[in-house]
Structures are given as C-alpha cells and as structure tokens.
Structure 1
Amino acid sequence: MRAKLKEIASIQMGYSFRSRLDFMNKGLTAVIQMKDLTDDNVVDCRDLIQIDMDSLKDRHLARLGDIVFRSRGLVTTAVLLSEDPGQAVIAAPLIKIRVDEKAILPDYLVWYINQPLAQAYFTSRAKGTTQKMISKQTLENVEISVPSLDRQQAIVDIAALADKEQVLLEKIAVRRNHYVLTKLMQFVEKAS
C-alpha cells in the first residue's frame, strides 16, 4: 500500500520563537533545536535549553516516538525522538511528525524518509539555492510505501543490524590498519 504522509501522520511546524532562545530565562520547558539532532538520527536530549513558556498548548508538546524532520539545510532527514524529553517543544524550522501507530511504525518512517527515493523527492521540490528548504506541504505529500506492521518491523530490525555491521567493519579496518603499521615498524626496526 502507498499513502501520502498526511494520511498516516499528523505534521506540525515547529514552534516559532520571537526572540533568540539563548537569551531567554531558565524554565520548565525544554526546546529541541536543529543542534540537538545527531548524525545517527536521534535527538540528543542531554543539553536541551530550558525556557519559560506562558502560552503552551498540548499540540505544541513533543513526546517519545515523535519524528523530527530537518526542513532546512543541506540535510533534510528525519530523526526519531527515542528518549523522553519531558515537557518539550520542537523549534522551527524543524517539523514534528506524529504517526498513526496502527498504520506505520515511527522507526520505519524515519528509515523510509532517509532513503534515496524519498530524499530525491525532497531534493526535486526544495526551495532556495544556498540553503534548501522543504515546505510542510511537500512533506505532507511525500508518498510512503506502507507494508504490514510485521514487515515494517523486520525492515527496521535488518536496517539496524546493517548499521551495526558497518560500525563493526569500520572498527575492524582501523584495528587491522594499526596492526599492519605496527608490524611494519617492527620490521623496519629489525632491519636497522
């Protein structure tokens, strides 16, 4: 089955602040910003800015399992909010995606959005020359392949194993290189 993202998830622009966050007072509400998104597609909640927010509504709050989409910049990928941020909002230009978990798994949607097919869709519809921008409407209309939940979970599991394998292969390559260089240096020392 194929579906437009807006048919299987709610999509909301990040909260637009009127002033710079680093000048705001400490408070009870954490703010998830672009700098809090890691290269391995998670939200790092360790150093979120805490601010006071008067007009906070439930629809503004982020929660565990939400997806954060980078709508601006060179990279337009999705990131999973995999740890509970407490009372937190997502700041613009990020976009919050909350899936209908009866239709699609958050992990699967993150994986799918970050694949070359979806990335090509975003690239072809990006606005701006120096800094790409993906509109909310473009995100809403991306077509998603939606297999059964069991198949989605299998895809997520296999993708995670492939990522782990890649990390292990890189570690092996570094250790092998270190071993070869050590042996070569020993060979040089014996020859002198």
Structure 2
Amino acid sequence: MNNVKISDIAQLQFGLYSKSSEEGDVKYLQAKHFDDSGILVEEIDTLLTKDDKNVSHLLQDGDVLFVGKGFRNFAWTYTTSIGEAIASSIFFVIRPNQSIAFPEFLATLFNTAKYQAYFQSMGAGSKITSIRKSELEAVTINLPDLETQKKIVELKRLHQRDMVLSKEIIEEKEIRFQSVINQLLNT
C-alpha cells in the first residue's frame, strides 16, 4: 500500500451550477437523487439541454461524484449506463487515473465511517460544512494495488446486497405479523 494524496491520483473539478428543467437531453445529478449511503435511488427528473457552455461538464465513465457541502458527504461512481449526465455544483467531480485507482474503490473508501468522520471534521465549527477543493486534493489515502481495490469493491457490493435482502426480510416479517394480528382480531 502506498500513501498518496488525492491530487496525485486524480483530477478534481466542481460540478456545474445551472437551472434544471423537466425537459432536456442530459441528466442533471443532484444530491436528492441519492440516499445517505450514496446509492442512486431516485429517478433523475432534472434535466439540462446540452450546449456549448455545459458540454465540458459531461461526466465520463468512472468519474466519482463527492458531495463537498452540507452534512451528507457521500461519494458515488458514475457509469455511462445511466445515460449522459452532468453533476450539479454540490458535487466535486473526481476523475481518477484508472491505471492506478479504481473509481469505485475511491467511492467506497470515501463512504466509510473513518472518512465520513474526517470529512465532517473538515467543516467543524460552521453551520453548513463545506470542503475546499485544496483540502480534498490534500486528503491522503492508503492505495492498495488494483486487484485489492477490486476485491474491496466486490465486498462492498455483497454487503449492499445483503443489506437490501435484510430490509426486505424485515418488511415481510412486519406484513406477516400484521396479518396474524388482524386475523386474530377478526375471529
């Protein structure tokens, strides 16, 4: 493992500030589209029309979006499978050098409790936390080899799937419990 600064393995830029609409040809990603774990959960209903001013902000496969403002500092990895998209200004767009840093590894790392606490401490003392670009670029991480990074990402995927299944089981148990209670009350 190597200790590296984010600036040594990635380029950072800010997302685009723009007024979205219900019509357009590019998805405009906002924090509201994600849950607290950084999982895309909401249909993307905010759109932009691609033009000369915003085309440079189109996301590329593997860009990591990181919320640098507020109390939800999650990270998420963009894939082209969701369609063309532009990140709103709430996000930093982190474009890792994929020959040394697997994008989903960075998102996984940034979503761990350790890094979440670290990011929260960066903005301590202010009402709404805001991480500066220079602070994010200076964050030092332990960067294992690509094979280990991919194993960590696979472990994260399995964990997320397990959490979804656990939630579904709990919901089913609640339905069955309510059904039994209703049957007993109606006899």
Normalising by structure 1, what TM-score? Answer: 0.80
Q: Residues 23-172 of structure 1 correspond to what in structure 2 (within 5 A)?
A: 30-42=27-39, 46-51=44-49, 53-56=51-54, 58=56, 60-84=57-81, 88-126=85-123, 129-172=126-169
Distance of 1:117 and 1:82 partners within structure 2: 26
In the alignment, is the contact (CA less than 8 A) between 2:37 and 2:74 conserved in 1? no
1:13 aligns to 2:11 (yes or no): no
Specify whether residues 185 and 86 from structure 1 end up closer, same or farther in structure 2 by C-alpha distance, changes over 3 A only.
closer
Specify whether residues 121 and 188 from structure 1 end up closer, same or farther in structure 2 by C-alpha distance, changes over 3 A only.
same
> Comparing 31-40 with 3-12, which one deviates more in the overlay?
31-40
Q: Show structure 2 runs of 5+ residues with no match.
A: none
Distance of 1:172 and 1:129 partners within structure 2: 40
Higher Rg: 1
- Cα deviations across residues 88-138 of structure 1 (Å, max 9, x unaligned)? 433323211001111111111000011111112211111662211111111
Distance of 1:179 and 1:28 partners within structure 2: 44
In the alignment, is the contact (CA less than 8 A) between 2:5 and 2:137 conserved in 1? yes
Specify whether residues 184 and 71 from structure 1 end up closer, same or farther in structure 2 by C-alpha distance, changes over 3 A only.
same
Normalising by structure 2, what TM-score? Answer: 0.82
In the alignment, is the contact (CA less than 8 A) between 1:45 and 1:83 conserved in 2? no
Distance of 2:26 and 2:160 partners within structure 1: 33
In the alignment, is the contact (CA less than 8 A) between 2:64 and 2:76 conserved in 1? yes
In the alignment, is the contact (CA less than 8 A) between 1:14 and 1:91 conserved in 2? yes
In the alignment, is the contact (CA less than 8 A) between 2:101 and 2:146 conserved in 1? yes
Distance of 2:84 and 2:167 partners within structure 1: 38
Specify whether residues 15 and 184 from structure 1 end up closer, same or farther in structure 2 by C-alpha distance, changes over 3 A only.
closer
In the alignment, is the contact (CA less than 8 A) between 2:25 and 2:49 conserved in 1? yes
In the alignment, is the contact (CA less than 8 A) between 2:62 and 2:78 conserved in 1? yes
> Comparing 82-91 with 109-118, which one deviates more in the overlay?
82-91
Alpha-carbon offset, residue 12 of structure 1: 0.9
Which residue type is aligned with residue 52 of structure 2? D
Alpha-carbon offset, residue 38 of structure 1: 4.6
In the alignment, is the contact (CA less than 8 A) between 2:71 and 2:128 conserved in 1? yes
Distance of 1:32 and 1:180 partners within structure 2: 39
Match of 1:69, SS state, is strand
Indicate the RMSD between aligned Cα atoms, in angstroms.
2.7
Match of 2:182, SS state, is helix
Specify whether residues 50 and 173 from structure 1 end up closer, same or farther in structure 2 by C-alpha distance, changes over 3 A only.
same
